[in-house]
Amino acid sequence: MIMWIPVVLVSLYLWIRVHQLKLLSKHIEKHYPDEWDRLQKNPMKLSARAAFMANLEASMLSGFLATVDDPKIKDFQKNQRRISVFFVVLISIGFIQALWVN
pLDDT tens for 41-76 read: 888 888 888 888 888 989 988 889 889 999 999 999
pLDDT tens for 74-90 read: 999 898 889 889 888 88
What single-letter amino acid sits at 85? Answer: V
Q: What's the chain's average pLDDT? A: 86
